[in-house]
Amino acid sequence: MSAFIVSNKAMNNVVEGVRRYKQAYQDTQSVEDLTKLGQKFFDLNTLAVNGRYTEQEAAPGFVYTTDLGSKISDEQIWKSMSSLNYQCSEAPAIYDPAFQELKDLQLAFAGYFFSKSPKYDAADWS
């Protein structure tokens, strides 16, 4: 398995997904909070890559870009979340609480994403 630092665009997609999910439940996040979350996940991603290759590189900086949000599909967000999750799946990052937070947010976004589907609405509760 190889590991790499995801792009700033991919991280923005991940953070946009968190914003959409939380907004759907009236839990709005400030741009500052979203930027901090993206930075935390870049730190996690860097921890994983440094662990994989025994390096000491610094994490890239992150600033959430709000003007791209409406142009990003839910499918793209899911793919970016999946990529970040995979790139963070290295020791010692997998033991960091931020890794569990990432996995929990990805699962929550999946529920949000699928619950918007007409097929979901038509499905039985049984």
For 86, the domain range is 8-115
What confidence score (pLDDT) does residue 117 get?
87
Residue 96: count other Cβ atoms within 10 Å of its Cβ: 17
The pLDDT value given to residue 52: 94
Read off the pTM: 0.89
Separation between Cα atoms, residue 88 and residue 49, nearest integer Å: 7
Q: Which of 92, 11, 107, 105 minimizes the C-alpha distance to 53?
A: 92
What is the total residue count of the chain? 126
Domain assignment present for residue 27? The answer is yes
H or E, element range at 16: helix 8-24
**Domain membership flag for residue 124:** no
Is 46 among the domain residues? yes
**Is residue 122 domain-resident?**
no
**Domain-embedded: residue 79:** yes
pLDDT tens-digit series, residues 72-108: 899 999 999 999 999 999 999 999 999 999 999 999 9
For 15-29, write each residue's pLDDT tens digit.
999 998 887 777 778
